[in-house]
Chains A and B, each alone.
Chain A
Amino acid sequence: MATLEVRGLKKLFGAQTAVDDISHLFADGEITAVVGPSGSGKTTTLWMIAGLTAPDAGAVLIDGIDVTSRRAEQREIGMVFQSYALFPHLSVRENVEFGLRVRGLEKGARRSRALEALQLVRMDAFADRRVTSLSGGEQQRVALARALAFRPRVLLMDEPLSALDARLREDVRLELAQLLSTVKITTVYVTHDQTEAMALGARLLVLESGRVAQAGSPAEVYRRPATPFVADFLGAANLLEGVCGSGEPRLLTLPFAELELPRDTAPGPCRVMIRPEDLVLTTNGSAQFHANVVSSLFLGRQLRLVLEVGEQRLVMDASPDTVFYPRAEIGVRIRPDRVVVFPAGPQPNPGRMNR
């Protein structure tokens, strides 16, 4: 176990800045999910930590020791690749033994440590199989065992689930979460999938065009996103224009409703984020506004509604047992404690409410 720190990491590809001044302290034994859209610099960051690509500026520190000038093979960092990159000419066992073999471990020790790692991922029964005969999920586990077998100080995972099909992914994700919690190794987990990031990461590091947009626990980042980008990226969000009052209590005026905010906000024009689950269907007199149901999508756990209030469209979640007639008018209440207010910045409206 070890702490991992990156300081002011920077990487240019030609004139393009892939990673622009990323600093973060990855806590000892914790899983940090690095999440962002494609091109946000997450894989480049991972490669710089691994030593597979050299940063143009900045440093990588393990346990406070600068390892920036060390080659990948000298960093004692295990890595699971998106393609798994298992050696096709070697058996499962030989793949897992590879890291021990190049370290000159004698055969007996090599075998027992490889078996140990394979037991951890419950692949010990497959030890003598060819890796090419394994399914995607099995290959992924072997890749993990191989990365852990030589007892690295840090584990890096680059989109390890993206090569699996959607149905399998959820199972493997649960299994992986369980496994990583028993290993307790400082882990950097790169993904573009926000659900995966929140499910696996004890902390999230959200990247936007090569910079850290926000760092924090999944609940924190989901509930209190620092920017409209983070709000939008981590899940479905209604992003609205509004005006904050200066009186006491704070009044927030939206185009279609007015509500009292429990928190102090700077007065003036602002941008507002409301998650679909924070709009509540009401039938008594507590409705803050009325809207028409434009469409409804059955998602199993919930019914996702698209509402129309004047010119404004909103997404809202309702109980899957409810039935809505097209154009039905419903009463809606906003959970004020969940509303997030951003100062009106130069950021343009992303123009999408649903994802």
Chain B
Amino acid sequence: MRERLPVIGAYVLTGLLLIFILAPVAVVVLGSVLNTRWLGVSSEQWVPGAEGLVTFRWFGYVLATYGRMILFSLKLAVLSVVICIVVGVPAAYALVQHPFPGSRFVEELVLVPLSLPGITLSIALIQAYAVWRGRWWLVLCGHLLYTIPFMVRVTSGALRSFDVAELERAAQTLGARFSQRFFLVVLPSLRHAILVGSLLVFAISWGEFNVSYLLNTPLNQTYPAALYATFTFNSFQVSSAATTLFLLGVLPVLLLLQRLGGGELGGELGGELVRIEQGA
């Protein structure tokens, strides 16, 4: 019994911590569907009218008001994934499989944006490309600065974890040309890493705030930037609904990542996430 006390203590502590972390999420989700009038969950002004206790009208309002921003964020996230695959995967392949003097340095250089605070990066982008300020694709460029390093890192890690070079040599002796080796051997071998990388890129792009907010114009507002606006200018219910929608957008991706990244990629990605948390 005496030995079990610390264990029980640890469980209790973990439980409290979980409540501490999850409670705000629960409040927000609850707030987004409760049919309250003004002040939130604690409000005494319940309006259990014809619609009952639960309502989805806040969501309707959010979709009507911020639909354009949600679509813009989705567009950015999908484009980021596509461009990361098209640019990041071949880049990682070239850096790992065909190294040149300084290729290791280039690989590290690609990761630099991760360790820069988003605000620095945004101001740098604004100042360097002042002419293009307000163009939607400048926001995309900001997202790519953050996401391409992830794709390169995940892919190059996978390339190093097994002998792709030997598989390529085998394919070569079997008569495969370079393009056949790349598309029939290299890419399929990396499919897991590319999937993990894509999910990560999607999640990062969908939730990116710093660059999005600073490069924000009324016409090119991302959803996280809009989310910030709802908290400043809108009711608790509306901002709760907006937050819930935001979570719904990224939750499936995170769950899938959790399942896929449980293996050997987990540790590496964990490290990267710490890096970006510190940077952003």
Query: A interface vs B, CB < 8 Å?
Result: 50-52, 71-79, 81, 83, 85-90, 98-99, 101-103, 146-147, 150, 156
Contact = CB atoms under 8 A, between A and B. Distances in A.
Contacts of B265: none
Contact of A83 (B166, B173, B175): B166
Contact of B174 (A52, A71, A83, A146): A146
Given A52-B172, A72-B172, A88-B189, A102 B180 contact: yes
A52 B169 contact: yes
B170 A79 contact: yes
Give the 8 A-B residue pairs with the shortest CB-CB distance, closest first: A85-B170, A99-B174, A79-B173, A89-B188, A72-B172, A102-B176, A85-B166, A73-B175
A88 B167 CA distance: 9
B214 interface: no
Contact of B173 (A72, A87, A90, A103): A72
Contacts of A85: 163, 166-167, 169-170
B191 A89 contact: yes
Contact of A150 (B166, B174, B177): B174
Contacts of A99: 174-175
Contact of B176 (A86, A98, A156): A98
- Chain B contact residues (Cβ within 8 angstroms of A): what range? 10 to 19
Which residue, B167, B172, B176, B177, has most C-beta atoms of chain A within 10 A?
Answer: B172
Contacts of A75: 173
B185 interface: yes
A319 B166 CA distance: 47
A87 B185 contact: yes
A154 to B, nearest CB: 10
A86 B162 CA distance: 12
Interface of B: 162-163, 166-167, 169-177, 180, 184-185, 188-189, 191
Contacts of A76: 175
Contacts of B184: 98, 101-102
Contacts of B176: 73, 98, 102
A86 B171 CA distance: 9
Nearest to B166: A85
A51 B185 CA distance: 19
A147 B175 CA distance: 10
B172 A87 contact: no
26 contacts: A51-B173, A52-B173, A71-B172, A72-B169, A73-B172, A73-B177, A76-B175, A77-B173, A78-B173, A79-B173, A81-B166, A83-B163, A85-B170, A87-B170, A87-B188, A88-B189, A89-B188, A89-B189, A98-B174, A98-B176, A102-B175, A102-B176, A102-B180, A102-B184, A146-B174, A156-B173
B232 to A, nearest CB: 50
A102 B177 contact: yes
A67 to B, nearest CB: 13
Contacts of A150: 174-175
B147 to A, nearest CB: 25
Contact of A87 (B169, B175, B180, B189): B189
A102 B172 CA distance: 10
Contacts of A73: 172-177
Nearest to A86: B170
Contacts of B172: 51-52, 71-73
B98 to A, nearest CB: 15
A60 to B, nearest CB: 14
A210 B79 CA distance: 54
A301 B7 CA distance: 61
A87 B174 CA distance: 12
Given A52-B172, A98-B171, 13 more contacts: A77-B173, A81-B166, A81-B170, A83-B163, A85-B167, A85-B169, A85-B170, A86-B170, A87-B185, A87-B188, A89-B189, A102-B180, A150-B174
